[in-house]
Amino acid sequence: MKRIEKILIANRGEISCRVISTCKALGIRTVSIYNKGEEDLPHVTSADEAVLLGDGSLLETYLNQDLLLEIAKNHNTCAIHPGYGLLSENASFARRVTSEGIIFIGPSPESIILMGDKIQSKIAMEKLGIPLVPGFHGKNQDETSLVEEAKKIGYPLLIKATAGGGGKGMRIVNSDLEFTDALASAKREAMNAFGNDQVLLEKYITSPRHIEIQVFSDSMGSHVHLYERECSIQRRYQKIVEESPSLALNQKLRREMTDVAVKISSSINYLGAGTIEFMLDKDSNFYFLEMNTRLQVEHPVTELVTGQDLVEWQIRVAEGNSLPLKQEEIKQNGHAVEVRIYAEDPDNDFLPAIGKLNYIGKSTISGVRCDIGYVDGNEVSVNFDPMCAKLIAHGSNRENAISKLRAGLNEFPFFGVTTNRNYLQRILKSKSFLKGDTFTHFVESKKEELSPLKMDDQYMADLIAFNLLNKQSVETINERPSIKSPWDTLSGLRTT
Amino acid sequence: MITKFNINDLIVELDDLKKDDKSVSFLLNGTRYEYSLVLSYKNKTILKYKDKSLHALISNNQILYKDDCNNVARESSLKKSRSQSSANPGAMISPMPGKIFKILSSVGNIVKKGDVILILEAMKMEHSVKASSNGVVKELFYKEGELVDGGVLLATLEAVEEFKEC
């Protein structure tokens, strides 16, 4: 067993801040990394040490394995937390980290390779008797044979990049007439995004829910789950609303799905935090989709419902400790809902937006948590994912959690950047969402219900009155404290 | 005297606007509205309307009030934004910085409103820039693969007269 005293966080933004917050609570020192121009971001300013990567492309900076390993060695970090995205599911990075004698806070390279390959993982799961969506996962990528396979599966079907994620390189095809074009564009997008244009075909399930199970394993062979999250509400195949528990699961189905999830993690001898994603159809059949071998963006809903700190769990099992709790000690308590705040305009085809955040807001509501990688005055730039923050509310039941989240959203205006904040409010108050009528095509099929409200005269009069009577001038509101704290300039000072 | 406001791209006209430091009164669509100021501190403003108090957060021209985040512009900023677009109604402006991924139209092409003129790649996604009206593509200012800033002119359209099929 090796105690972790200092961690290099090989990531940025809100997830780096999230890891730093647990590290501080545990007395672990942190090293952050950043690019030129990111000096003011909180993942840089809140870490104990921060190292400039440069100002080149992602490959030269955040994905530069040589540089990251050099930083880890120079700064004597005994472990690397990869966050999500970037190098978190890169097996060769995990292997290199481990071979340098540094702990990789994540699963073994073998698990990453197996689950990172959408074809191999499905073959392995099929052998285990895990239910799969009917489809073609073969190596033969010849167009005529793919058309043949498509006919066998039947339309509608999905074309998916095998190396994909986040909806990139994915297309729905309704008939053989659309197949050729959809295949070409999926392959092109996959090649650009992942450098690999291999695809698989899958039967398209018409009213599916996205249900995933959080699993956790230690190096002593204990494997547990921390129940489900429902993440059916997505746009461009990226989740925007997540919750736990799911209304679609009764105790019997919950038991079946969590049993299957733990069967998977134990059969591959998994280590650390993982998520098994399933598609649930309207007849309560569920199918294995994939396993994410990292901490998920939406992990906070699980943390709030179970009362656990999953980053702490990751660190403890990476040190070689046993899991903090036994399965029967892990309980679901109340309900949690998370929304992802994106810098984008949902009423204009979700077009990403950029700008300077002049007032983000803060929560004053008990049970509302904001995971964010920005502070007032930061720029939201074009270089990274447009997700600005996650707002998560925990309540005694679903209605309570939703109402807290709605009140919470009203405390976060995100002034200065166009966000989906208002659109998220429309989702949270829609009848369909309140009934739990949530499917992965929610955003498209409920478009009408989610369109902006028409403004009535009273509403417009109120807005005009606010505009005419408020005293603040542009200068006062943008006058964010730019005074640096003494800690920024006096680097030799010790705080202990 | 008519005063114009732009709320979420909707032009609203007020009549008989009376305002001092603490109160405002105006006619909107024939109804009189009267408000008084309770508090305005930093970005927080509280107004009184009849017996209700109304709360909002305000910054620059953005207001967060009740469930909505609205953009309200005074007449001055409205004029500014209008003169820009009226100077060139067929101007197609890049919505954000990115790379010209694909150009699907060439100079002289006749396009319908909503036709994709070019595809911009930004934030790891593809975004279609569509024709704002029926017309003829007059100028294209960039080639595929070029990097562009947000707010720059990508192409111009010459509008053609709308006609309906009978």
Residues of A in contact with B96 (CB under 8 A): 351-354, 382
Query: A425, A445, A465: which is the final residue of a domain?
Result: A445
Query: pLDDT digits over A186-222, tens only?
Result: 999 888 888 888 999 988 888 899 999 999 999 999 9
Q: Taking CB atoms and an 8 Å limit, are B57 and A361 in contact across chains?
A: yes
Q: Taking CB atoms and an 8 Å limit, are A466 and B23 in contact across chains?
A: no
Query: pLDDT digits over A415-470, tens only?
Result: 988 899 999 999 999 999 999 999 998 999 999 999 887 888 998 899 889 888 88
Closest-CA distance of chain A to residue B117, Å: 16
CATH number at A30 reads: 3.40.50.20
- Residue among B5, B65, B127 whose CB faces A462 most closely: B65
Pick the residue with more confidence: A337 or B86?
A: A337
Query: pLDDT digits over B53-77, tens only?
Result: 998 888 877 888 876 667 676 554 4
Closest-CA distance of chain A to residue B150, Å: 9
Whether residues A166 and A54 fall in one domain: no
Q: For chain B, which residues make up each domain, given as ranges?
A: 2-85, 88-159
Average pLDDT (A128-157) is: 90
Average pLDDT (A110-138) is: 90
Residues of B in contact with A414 (CB under 8 A): 69
Closest A-chain CA to B125? A168
Q: Taking CB atoms and an 8 Å limit, are B58 and A467 in contact across chains?
A: yes
B2-85 under CATH 3.30.700.30, yes or no = yes
Residues of A in contact with B19 (CB under 8 A): 468-469
Question: To which H or E segment does residue A212 belong?
Answer: strand A209-217
Q: Taking CB atoms and an 8 Å limit, are B49 and A193 in contact across chains?
A: no
Inside any domain, residue A291? yes
Q: What is the reported pTM? A: 0.79
Q: Taking CB atoms and an 8 Å limit, are B69 and A429 in contact across chains?
A: no
Inside any domain, residue A479? no
Residue A357: partners with Cβ closer than 8 Å, 6 or more residues away: A374, A375, A376, A377, A378, A379, A380, A388, A414, A415, A416, A417
- Residue among B58, B96, B122 whose CB faces A472 most closely: B58
Q: Taking CB atoms and an 8 Å limit, are B96 and A351 in contact across chains?
A: yes
Whether residues A299 and A406 fall in one domain: yes
Bond from prior residue into A486 cis (ω within 30 degrees of 0): no
Number of C-beta neighbours around residue A316 at 10 A? 18
CATH number at A327 reads: 3.30.470.20
What interface predicted TM-score (ipTM) does this complex get?
A: 0.73
Mean of the per-residue pLDDT values for chain B? 78
What CATH number does domain B88-159 carry, 2.30.30.830, 2.40.50.100, 3.90.79.10, 3.40.50.150?
Answer: 2.40.50.100
Closest A-chain CA to B68? A422
pLDDT for the residue numbered A347: 84
- Residue among A415, A465, A476 whose CB faces B33 most closely: A465
Domain that holds residue A199: 134-203
Percentage of residues in chain A having pLDDT higher than 90: 73
Enumerate the active-site residues of A: 294
Alpha carbon distance B97, B75 (integer Å): 28
Residues of A in contact with B29 (CB under 8 A): 457
Inside any domain, residue A458? no
A26-40, A175-189, A289-303, range with the lowest pLDDT: A175-189
Whether residues A40 and A186 fall in one domain: no
Cβ atoms of residues A280 and A289 within 8 Å = no
Inside any domain, residue A465? no
Alpha carbon distance A318, A310 (integer Å): 12
pLDDT band at A165 (very low <50, low <70, confident <90, very high): low
Query: What total number of domains does chain A contain?
Result: 3
How far apart, in Å, do the first and last CA atoms of chain A sit? 28
